[in-house]
Amino acid sequence: MATDNRNPFATRAAVTLVHLGVRGLSAVAPRFVEKKAASFFFTPRPKRRKSKLPNGESRAFRVPFQSGFIAAWEEGPAHAPVVLLVHGWEADARQLDPFVGPLLRAGFRIVRFDQPAHGLSSGKHASVVDFRDAVRRMGEHLGALHAIVGHSVGATASALAVADGLRVDRVALIAPVREPGGVLGRIADSLGLAPARRHGMLELVRGRIGSFEALDVALRARDRSQPALIVHAKNDRMIPFEEGEAIAAAWPGAQLLAPPSLGHRRILKDDAVIAAAIEFVARGREIRA
């Protein structure tokens, strides 16, 4: 049976071929192997790029970003409290579709967007830093936000944007990545990198995004004042549950919801998770119809 946690190198045959190729190339072109491994962290697969618009009566707009633009959509009353929906890696603005209807019925204005190098936004390469900067840019464009609901790397980017001063009242993080090192370690394991090549890959990534410690959500969460909801399935094989658990433990007063068996992506379609997120977003705020 297929699983929503499948690693791109999950099959035994693929893993064997990748490992053999990496070992051979490492002997003759070690720097090439390191650069190629690092590129997995910055390059979403083209076949996952989307070209469709979000469903519903969305109003499309663009926000200038870096040397290009962010493609974005909004729905709901113009003066209602704003909830920003933030998708994860190799997804697009439609990923959090299941949350849109309930949030609109609760009286919110919904804004969602395609991250850099994803969907209809410009660019070919991105990282958690670009995701963070895009969230921050959207916040600047929209003004004060009532809440953010983010998934995976999008949740991480949202938390980092908040730590860097983005104004928002409440934050819901679904299956968040704690920091880049864990993801890079899993990429290295999938490719079968030797320790020396793994070190080279990590240094190349650090050269582009900076210190991993500065991007560690658990470390950055310690002085947060916004209420936070962390939702992470215990059987998430793509982003281990312990990463969300560590963020929840570090974020003062955070609520942790830990469903046992929803994986990494199915969690976004679960009625109980959606209801919990809506209740959290609406809590303590008068909602205007």
The model's pLDDT over 62-110, given as tens digits with 9 standing for 90+, comes to 999 999 999 999 999 988 999 999 999 999 999 999 999 999 999 999 9
Q: Is residue 50 part of a domain?
A: no
Reduced to 3 states (helix: H, G, I; strand: E, B; else coil), residue 219 is helix
Give the pLDDT score at 82: 96
Q: Could you tell me what percent of the chain has a pLDDT over 70?
A: 84
Q: Is residue 7 part of a domain?
A: no
Residue 161: pLDDT above 80?
yes
β-strand partners of 170: 147
Q: Are 199 and 207 in contact (CB under 8 A)?
A: no
- Name the band, by pLDDT with cuts 50, 70 and 90, for residue 168: very high
Residue 159 to residues 14, 33, 108, 234, 268, Cα–Cα distance (Å): 35, 32, 21, 21, 18
Q: Is residue 180 part of a domain?
A: yes
Instruction: Quote the CA–CA distance of 105 and 147 in Å, as a whole number.
Output: 16
Q: Is residue 181 part of a domain?
A: yes
Residue 13: pLDDT above 60?
no
Residue 183: pLDDT above 70?
yes
Residue 186: pLDDT above 90?
no
- Name the band, by pLDDT with cuts 50, 70 and 90, for residue 184: confident
Q: Is residue 288 part of a domain?
A: no
Q: Is residue 162 part of a domain?
A: yes
> What DSSP string describes 89-148?
TT--GGGGHHHHHHHHHTT-EEEEEPPTTSTTSS-S---HHHHHHHHHHHHHHH-SEEEE
| Its pTM surpasses 0.95 | no
Instruction: Quote the CA–CA distance of 218 and 212 in Å, as a whole number.
Output: 12
Angle, CA of 195, 34 and 203, to the nearest 5°: 75
| Burial degree of 274 (CB within 10 A; 0-12, 13-18, 19+) | buried
What's the rounded mean pLDDT across residues 34-52? 72
Instruction: Quote the CA–CA distance of 270 and 273 in Å, as a whole number.
Output: 5
Of 115-119, 189-193, 253-257, the range with the lowest mean pLDDT is: 189-193
Give the pLDDT score at 195: 83
**What residue numbers bound the domain in which 246 lies?**
12-44+66-282
Residue 218: pLDDT above 90?
yes
Residue 16: pLDDT above 80?
no
Q: Is residue 59 part of a domain?
A: no
Of 44-48, 167-171, 247-251, 269-273, the range with the lowest mean pLDDT is: 44-48
Q: Is residue 220 part of a domain?
A: yes
Reduced to 3 states (helix: H, G, I; strand: E, B; else coil), residue 57 is coil
| Burial degree of 166 (CB within 10 A; 0-12, 13-18, 19+) | buried
How many structural domains comprise the chain?
A: 1
Looking at every residue in the chain, the average pLDDT score rounds to 86
Residue 12: pLDDT above 60?
no
β-strand partners of 148: 84, 171
CATH number of the domain residue 184 falls in: 3.40.50.1820
- Name the band, by pLDDT with cuts 50, 70 and 90, for residue 20: very low
What's the rounded mean pLDDT across residues 227-234? 97
Residue type, 242: E
Name which of 187, 156, 193 is nearest 8 in CA terms. Answer: 187
